[in-house]
Amino acid sequence: MSSNESSETRYRSEVRGSNNTLCHRELSVTASVISMTVGIFSNSFALFILIKSYSRHRIKSKASFLLFASSLVTTDLLGHLINGSLVLHVYRFHRKWDTFDPHGIVCSIFGVCMVFYGLSPLFLSSAMAVERFIGVTKPIFHSTVLASHHVRRLLGFTWLLAAIVALLPLLLRRPYEVQSSRSFCFFHMEHPKDWLDILLPLIFSVLGLLALLLSIVCNTLASCALLQGRLRHKHGCRGTSYHLEMICQLLAIMLVSCVCWGPLLVHVIILSTRAKEESSSFSLLTMVRMATWNQILDPWVYILLRKAVLRKIFMLFHSCWGSQLHTFHRWQRSTLGSSGEMNKSDCLRYSRQPLPDTTIQFIT
């Protein structure tokens, strides 16, 4: 293809003008292997925890959230596995696309996977935020209307929407192209031929930014509603504990998505609406690498921000500092303690004597 030939010419000139190309390639391969390995391990571990939690929870609202979370982690896991394998395949052939992909089939698959596994976590995060907002503000409506089959349909819709956006360039005969870094395929954004070359990356970026905005709005409103309910009922209610846990996880996911994906989405809009320079594709590669960290950090939100882990951390602090953290212990007892786990005598006993080391252990 002509675009590959022009990219190959640019790449050869870059190789002749640099003595560090081989070292740079080895570092890129090493970084890709590490990112893929850590991502697969993190998402597999988080998926094991979520499936275990889903099997033992009978609270409908919690089960719906865990189903969303398990789907998000599974999507991240497949994204690391498939995209990472494609990257290693490209580096295996020294990024010579004309040699191993003369018809552009691998490039098309790579571009579709990049867009699909990029948008799917953003759409799932926004769907989780909407579900949690309804669960906090309209619990009766949530319990009567949002049944498990409705949640599965919503999951299918988010994946379908991401797949349509990913396949749109192929359906409109505007295939994905090898970027100047020669390590991945993405939308055609250098010197767009017509309005379609501008529209396609704009659809990707605008939908991603809208998903982030929806997550921010719903998570903020749900957090405010939960805080308002806590202030109105100072002693709390039985369901506040898991609501607080899920809101903390959603806020962390939202923060990670904004930091990792925000720069790339904004950068794609800028690149697709103005004249480009040769160095723009390499800055795009940097943004893409930042976005991949979203799929690495997401599972650790579910691993670390769990009620059991948070409770153990506060108990550890209490055993170390004693009365200095009396206020934190009271907050932990009222919001993080599950029903039936602590009564008043237990709280008095914990406040008078330090906790043994056996209470701090690994939670699965």
Per-domain boundaries in the chain:
23-233+240-318
Percent of the chain whose pLDDT exceeds 90: 27
Topology of domain 23-233+240-318, CATH: Rhopdopsin 7-helix transmembrane proteins (1.20.1070)
Separation of alpha carbons 256 and 344, rounded Å = 38
Q: Which residue, among 177, 182, 187, has the nearest Cα to 9 in the 3D structure?
A: 182
pLDDT band at 139; cut points 50, 70, 90: confident
pLDDT at residue 241 tops 70:
no
Say whether 178 sits in a helix, a strand or coil: strand
Predicted pLDDT of residue 343: 45
Separation of alpha carbons 70 and 296, rounded Å = 15
pLDDT band at 166; cut points 50, 70, 90: very high
| Residue environment code for 179-204, b if the CB has 16+ CB neighbours within 10 A, otherwise e | bbbbbbbbbbbbebeeeebbbbbbbb
pLDDT at residue 64 tops 70:
yes
305 neighbors 245 (Cβ within 8 angstroms): yes
Predicted pLDDT of residue 141: 78
319 neighbors 332 (Cβ within 8 angstroms): no
Separation of alpha carbons 65 and 193, rounded Å = 44
Q: Angle 283-8-261 (CA atoms, 0-180°, nearest 5)?
A: 25
Contacts of 192 (CB under 8 A, 6+ apart): 198, 272
86 neighbors 101 (Cβ within 8 angstroms): no
pLDDT at residue 359 tops 70:
no
Q: How many CB atoms lie within 10 A of CB 122?
A: 25
DSSP string, 306-343: -HHHHHHHHHHHHHHHGGGGHHHHHHHHHHTSPTTT--
Predicted pLDDT of residue 360: 35
Predicted pLDDT of residue 76: 92
Predicted pLDDT of residue 131: 87
- The region of weakest confidence among 61-70, 162-171, 307-316 is 307-316
Q: Find the mean pLDDT for residues 16-28.
A: 55
DSSP string, 260-279: HHHHHHHHHHHHHTS---TT
What's phi and psi for 362, nearest 5 deg? -70, 135
Predicted pLDDT of residue 358: 38
| Residue environment code for 218-232, b if the CB has 16+ CB neighbours within 10 A, otherwise e | bbeebbebbeebbee
Q: Which residue, among 299, 295, 284, has the nearest Cα to 204 in the 3D structure?
A: 284
Predicted pLDDT of residue 118: 93
Percent of the chain whose pLDDT exceeds 70: 72
pLDDT band at 41; cut points 50, 70, 90: very high
Predicted pLDDT of residue 201: 92
Span between the terminal Cα atoms of the chain, in Å: 51
Predicted pLDDT of residue 182: 86
Q: Which two tokens stand for residue 275?
A: 């004249």
- Tens digit of pLDDT for each residue in 266-316? 999 888 877 555 455 567 888 888 898 888 888 888 777 777 777 777 677
Separation of alpha carbons 312 and 303, rounded Å = 13
Q: Angle 159-160-162 (CA atoms, 0-180°, nearest 5)?
A: 65
Predicted pLDDT of residue 1: 44
DSSP 173: T
- Tens digit of pLDDT for each residue in 153-164? 889 999 999 999
Say what the pTM is. Answer: 0.76
pLDDT band at 60; cut points 50, 70, 90: low
- Residue 223 half-sphere exposure toward CB, CA atoms < 13 A: 15
Q: Which residue, among 300, 302, 221, has the nearest Cα to 54 in the 3D structure?
A: 302
84 neighbors 104 (Cβ within 8 angstroms): no
Looking at every residue in the chain, the average pLDDT score rounds to 77
Predicted pLDDT of residue 245: 75
Burial of 294 (0-12, 13-18, 19+ CB in 10 A): buried
In 3-state terms the chain splits into helix, strand, coil percentages (rounded to 5) of 80, 0, 20
- Tens digit of pLDDT for each residue in 312-354? 776 777 677 655 545 545 545 554 444 444 444 444 444 444 4
179 neighbors 285 (Cβ within 8 angstroms): yes
pLDDT band at 200; cut points 50, 70, 90: very high
